[in-house]
Amino acid sequence: MDLSELERDNTGRCRLSSPVPPVCLKEPCVLGVDEAGRGPVLGPMVYAICYCPLSRLEDLEALKVADSKTLSESERDRLFAKMEKDGDFVGWALDVLSPNLISTSMLGRVKYNLNALSHDTATGLVQFALDQGVNVAQVFVDTVGLPETYQERLQQRFPGIEVTVKAKADALYPVVSAASICAKVARDQAVKNWKFVEKLQDLDTDYGSGYPNDPKTKAWLRKHVDPVFGFPQFVRFSWRTAQSILESEAEDVTWEDSETGDQEGPGKIKSYFSESPQTCPRLPHRYFQERGLGSATVL
Is position 5 annotated in a ligand binding site?
Answer: no
Collect all residues with Cβ–Cβ distance below 8 Å to 46 and sequence separation of at least 6: 35, 36, 37, 94, 95, 96, 97, 183, 184, 186, 187, 190
Q: Give the Cα separation of 25 and 59 in Å (integer).
A: 18
DSSP designation for 173: -
Report the b/e string of 134-168 with b at 16+ CB within 10 A.
bbbbbbbbbbbeebeebbeebeeebeeeebbbbee
d(CA 114, CA 44): 13
Torsion of CA 35, 38, 39, 44, to 10 degrees: 110
CA-to-CA distance for 281 and 45, rounded, in angstroms?
34
35 is annotated as contributing to ligand binding: yes
Q: Which residues, in sequence order, are CB contacts of 26 under 8 Å at separation 6+?
A: 135
Of the candidates 48, 36, 45, 35, which has an alpha carbon nearest to the alpha carbon of residue 101? 45
Specify the 3-state DSSP secondary structure of 27. coil
Asked if residue 34 belongs to a known ligand binding site, the reply is yes
Distance (Å, whole) CA 29 – CA 51: 6
Task: Give the residue ranges of the annotated binding site.
Answer: 34-35, 142
Residue ranges for the known binding site for a divalent metal cation are: 34-35, 142
